[in-house]
Chains A and B, each alone.
Chain A
Amino acid sequence: MITKNPGQWDFHGGIHRPDCKSLSAGKYLGKVSLPDTLVLPLQQHIGAMAEPVVEVGDHVLKGQTIARVTEYIGAPIHAPTSGTITAIEERPVPHPSGLSAPCIILQTDGRDEWGELPEPLPYFDDLDPSLLRERIRWAGIVGLGGAAFPTSVKVNHGPDRPIQTLVINGAECEPYITCDDLLMREQADRIVEGIKVLLYVVDAEECLIGIEDNKPEAIAAMRKAVAESGLRDVQVVQVPTRYPMGGEKQLIKVLTGKEVPSNGIPSEVGVICVNVATAAAVTDAVMAGRPLLSRLVTVTGEGVNNPGNLEVPFGSFMSHVIEQAGGYSDKAYKLILGGPMMGFTLGDDELPVTKGSNCLLVASREEAPDPDKAMPCIRCGKCVEACPAQLLPQQLYWYARAKDFDKTQEYNLFDCIECGCCSWVCPSHIPLVQYYRFAKTETWALEKEKQQAEDARRRHEARVERLERLERERKARLRQKKEALEKKTASGGMDPKKAAVEAAMKRVAEKKARQAKTEKRSEESS
């Protein structure tokens, strides 16, 4: 079922912000030089943490798998270059908590030697789709738009959820970020190859590529690549520029008119949405047999001297990357990983670039002013007007503040995509998204505690029952012994042993008496 007139719909709310993309748009600064050390976190994706399959001291080659996930939702990790594993330990990772997490530390040897790679699969459409999913999984491909969800899981929608539309997300709605734009301008055919593979894997009828209208060069390049590919039912759709157009649910609504159900995923309405960079990575995996080893990162902001996009191998320190973008200018005030709406600040730059690092925004004081104290909520309702998920942020705020987590669930807290539109428009400058993030993690923690309490109660009851059972068995055994004892004494009125002894004595006495009689008779006869 082909979508008629895609792009005619709109989503509620959203905001307009100066897009600040001219700082880095279209600028490719090249590949980052290999650093001496690469720090590869074992968790660079949503799902279970990967487990190392190498040991300290091992020499690894480029593209070699160094960590695997045995559970379903997860993605393996590969060595971005050749070198020696010098440690597997906890190191600081880019995360809002500032915590450390297990990482594999790779000392590069500068030779950049490739290891053995699986064969390219140019005739993929002759193969079973599950083989291609395996290949995508092997390559460690995750959503490169920032969410880092394992792609092999995403494209495994299952037989009871047929897919009509493959949506390719080229919206890149966050201000400052331009890496997807650059990819579309320079490597449109690589993206379209990936689309071919994905169309086959998910067996969709059509593909819609959504690109915001502030990227005319990218739209032109993609249109050209699609035309040259000869693919039918693949079209580039220009969508209006408004944040968060690149939000999966919002883009799907605009392109197809379908609303992804609350607490649901797009495959429930027959759609799968994949980022342009992810599609390009699929091309590498299937057509060239190469795993995911690096990505384009936008380094921008008034705090860097030469903003632009760089190809960065995973595990490179951000300080190293920023150096290659001209280093810090004297305006550098904050380091933000991601965009200014959904990103988070980092305390220092000695942190590794991971699969989800799409942008390093080195902001000046004007670009990222320190927040002022929040005023009380004046109930103006601007947040309600701006929310793209059509929630009531005001009510969520009151209940999250009151820590009433039943009510926050009632008001659909988990449909919040944390886009930040509400915080942006609030006249009282209340950090609304923070309240929702807090409410979400608290709710999860409470669920976990409840589950643990349930388990503890069951274990306790099982233990109490076991002890009671042992007690009952012990009592039963004692009772049996006592009964057997009483039975013996009740049968003869006398102890059986005693009875046997007396019987024997009686026999002896009788024998003696008979003997005495015989002796007397013999005496009388003689």
Chain B
Amino acid sequence: MFTAIFAIAALSTAFGLLLGYSAIRFKVDGDPLVDKIDAILPQTQCGQCGFAGCRPYAEAIAAGEAEINLCPPGGEAGMLALADLLGKEPVPLENEEAAGKGKMIAHIRETECIGCTLCIQACPVDAIVGAAKQMHTVIADQCTGCELCLPPCPVECIEMIPVKTTLSNWKWPFPGAEEHPAAQESRS
């Protein structure tokens, strides 16, 4: 019996030492988890998740304080990517309706703008150019569609419009769609 105990003890010590050595010798420095999560999030900085931007939300997910289904701009694909990364079960999105909308960008109706700079201060990615008493306008390429500029505007001159589909950003539809949807639109 003692030989058995001795043998098992010796083996476990040996393997333990081997594992410990390997853990140190072959350690792989990976990205911290927060960076990986942040890379998946769409960077809209809209705050719809309840956090003050994408980075705080990423930090909350990494700390286990937030669910992975709170981001409408990321949509289903984003939630699934997060589930895959964290090894969690996919969860249906909180706000299905908001996720379904196509990408919209903000547009200022310049005839109504009074130059108050409130929207400029609200934009989380500085996508609005302008100065006090000067015309304000949205740089379309930089707008993430977060809609944070709409509430502060005192004359409600900002609206969300869908991104225009042109030849350069048109995508082939998933096969199975009967006719080309864009073709139907342009002929109607």
Contact = CB atoms under 8 A, between A and B. Distances in A.
Asked whether the complex places CB atoms of A and B closer than 8 A, the reply is yes
A438 B187 contact: no
A207 to B, nearest CB: 35
Interface in A438-474: 438, 440-442, 445, 448-449, 452-457, 459-460, 462-463
B173 interface: yes
Interface stretch (B2-10, B12-20, B41-49, B107-115): B41-49
Interface string B35-58: 000100111110000000110000
B43 A456 contact: yes
B186 A100 contact: yes
Interface string B124-160: 1111000000000000011010000000000000000
Contact of A101 (B141, B167, B173, B184): B167
Interface string A50-85: 000000000000000000000000000000000000
Given A97-B167, A445-B169, A445-B171, A457 B43 contact: yes
A454 B44 CA distance: 10
B126 A462 contact: yes
Contacts of A442: 171
Nearest to A441: B171
Given A456-B45, A459-B127, A460-B45, A97 B175 contact: no
A10 to B, nearest CB: 32
Interface stretch (A239-247, A263-271, A352-360, A429-437): A429-437
Contacts of A456: 43-45, 125, 142, 144
Contacts of B144: 452, 456
Interface residues of B, number: 32
Interface in A76-99: 92-93, 95-99
Interface in B163-178: 165-167, 169-175
B172 to A, nearest CB: 4
Nearest to B52: A464
Contacts of B126: 459, 462-463
Given A98-B180, A463-B124, A453 B174 contact: no
A385 to B, nearest CB: 22
Contact of B167 (A43, A455, A463): A43
Nearest to A456: B43
B125 A438 contact: no
Contacts of B183: 97-99, 347
A197 to B, nearest CB: 32
Given A98-B186, A98-B187, A457 B54 contact: yes
Interface string A319-333: 000000000000000
A462 B173 CA distance: 37
Interface string A34-62: 00000000010000000000000000000
Contacts of B166: 99, 101
B135 to A, nearest CB: 21
Nearest to B42: A453
Nearest to A453: B43
Contacts of A454: 43
Contacts of A459: 125-127, 142
A456 B187 CA distance: 36
Interface centre among A43, A92, A438, A440 (most CB of B within 10 A): A438
Nearest to A466: B126
B173 A438 contact: yes
B169 to A, nearest CB: 7
Nearest to B44: A456
A460 B175 contact: no
A460 B182 CA distance: 34
Contacts of A455: 142
B142 A434 contact: no
Given A453-B42, A456-B44, A456-B144, A99 B182 contact: yes
Contact of B172 (A43, A101, A438, A463): A438
B71 to A, nearest CB: 12
A456 B144 CA distance: 7
Contacts of A438: 171-175
A99 B170 contact: yes
Contact of A95 (B42, B167, B174): B167
Given A453-B43, A456-B43, A463-B124, A99 B167 contact: yes
A328 to B, nearest CB: 20
Contacts of B45: 456, 460
Contacts of B180: 96-98
A499 to B, nearest CB: 45
Contacts of B125: 456, 459-460, 463
A441 B53 contact: no
Nearest to B186: A98
Nearest to A346: B183
A97 B124 contact: no
Contact of A431 (B42, B175, B187): B175
Contacts of A463: 124-126
B170 A437 contact: no
Given A98-B183, A99-B186, A100-B186, A460 B124 contact: yes
Interface string A258-280: 00000000000000000000000
Nearest to B185: A98
Nearest to A435: B175
Contacts of A99: 165-167, 170, 182-183, 186
Contacts of A453: 41-43
Interface in A393-452: 431, 434-435, 437-438, 440-442, 445, 448-449, 452
Nearest to B175: A434
A92 B185 CA distance: 12
Given A92-B186, A347-B187, 6 more contacts: A97-B167, A441-B172, A452-B141, A456-B125, A456-B142, A459-B125
10 contacts: A96-B180, A99-B182, A101-B166, A347-B187, A441-B171, A445-B169, A456-B45, A460-B45, A460-B125, A463-B124
Question: Which 5 A-B pairs rank lowest in CB-CB distance, beginning with the nearest?
Answer: A98-B183, A453-B43, A441-B171, A434-B175, A456-B43
